[in-house]
Amino acid sequence: MNSNLLLQVCPKRNLSVTNRRVLGLILCLLLFGNAAQADIIINGYTAATNDRFTNSGAFIGSGLNFSGVGQTTGARWATAISRNVVISAWHFPPTGTVNFYANNDPSGIPVTRNVVSGLQVPNTDLYLAVLDSNLPTSITHYSFATEAISGPPLTLSNAGIYQNMNAYMVGRSPEPHPGFRDQAVGRNRITSYVENVNFLGLTDADSLLLFYDSTSNPNFVQYEAYLQGGDSGGPMFVDFGGNLRLLGINSFINFGGINANPAYSGISYTGNQAAFIQAYIAANSIPEPSALALILVGCLIPACTRRRGLKR
């Protein structure tokens, strides 16, 4: 199969071509195998506007809560989706200590938690990991997409309610930062959905695509972003009423990189795996101290009542 096939089947963003096959995806994947690679490409990037830890009022994420986006010292990503469960990429999972910051101030003291176990969401590039204790209230956790999307395998399809939404893409900054504070944010519109993208032998890697448009393209947005190696496992969000909603995890880009036509980023979508993710969160939850106190009180009341009854 010719890797140029992708140029023939999806040269435009118009989703009136949703029945066109994108078999070129099979050969046009660039996996993020290690952190010693390039950084996210952001058109018009500046440290003030795009780097979270520049702590600037010009940051495009000002007013949004990025505290639940954690990293290990080696810059592997771990995004909180409950008080003690994080999500990342199966092919680049977090290990060891994860660092979270309550705000965008790099001089703040990080909240650290250790990864104690983890599990691949079957046949996907999504990876769930359990932390050794609950995160404090200063660190948020994100709701995630639960809407099921479907389409013919390896075919550009409509991304449902998320089609054409302008997403926040998170990757490693072009500026040098310590690994656990290496976060830059760009924007891009969600172009389409592709079912069962076939890479790494995965059979259920349902994905969202985001095309990297030139400035002359009418679909271009300010700070248009394109993922690079090392961004694997980072989160992609949309803004719902001032709150970030997680749609998926950075997984792949097309073979040929930024000079390909089209260049695109691939996001492993959470919506089709929501039941599995929610069950995993429930199975691994750690009761908060206040909940434990209520449980203990509830257990003691019947015992006290029985003891009083015996004295009568």
- Which pLDDT value is given to residue 302? 57
pTM for this structure?
0.85
- Which pLDDT value is given to residue 300? 52
277's enclosing H/E stretch is: helix 274-283
- Which pLDDT value is given to residue 88? 98
What architecture is domain 5-297? Answer: Beta Barrel (2.40)
* Identity of the residue numbered 292: L
> 85-89 and 77-80: which strand pairing?
antiparallel
Going by C-beta distance under 8 Å and a sequence separation of 6 or more, which residues neighbour residue 45?
Answer: 174, 184, 186, 223
C-alpha span between 163 and 181 (Å, rounded): 31
189's enclosing H/E stretch is: strand 184-189
Instruction: Output the CA torsion 196→2→156→19 (10° steps).
Output: -110
- Give the DSSP letter string of 167-178: EEEEE--SS---
Omega within 30 of 0 (cis) for the link into 262: yes
**Which ranges of the chain would DSSP assign to H, the alpha helix?**
5-9, 47-50, 274-283, 289-311
Per-residue pLDDT of the chain (312 residues; tens, 9 = 90+): 233 223 222 323 333 333 444 535 433 444 444 434 579 999 999 999 999 999 999 999 999 999 999 999 888 999 999 999 999 999 999 999 999 999 999 999 999 999 999 999 999 999 999 999 999 999 999 999 999 999 999 899 999 999 999 999 999 999 988 889 999 999 999 999 999 998 888 999 999 999 999 999 999 999 999 999 889 999 999 999 999 999 999 999 987 778 877 899 999 999 999 999 999 999 999 998 765 445 445 555 555 555 555 444
- Which pLDDT value is given to residue 218? 94
Token reading at 252? 């792949």
* Residue 47 DSSP class: H
- Which pLDDT value is given to residue 260? 78
- Which pLDDT value is given to residue 298? 55
Which of 277, 235, 209 is CA-nearest to residue 28? Answer: 209
- Which pLDDT value is given to residue 301? 53
Omega within 30 of 0 (cis) for the link into 93: no
Q: Where are the domains of the chain?
A: 5-297
Is residue 59 within 8 Å of residue 48, measured between CB atoms? yes
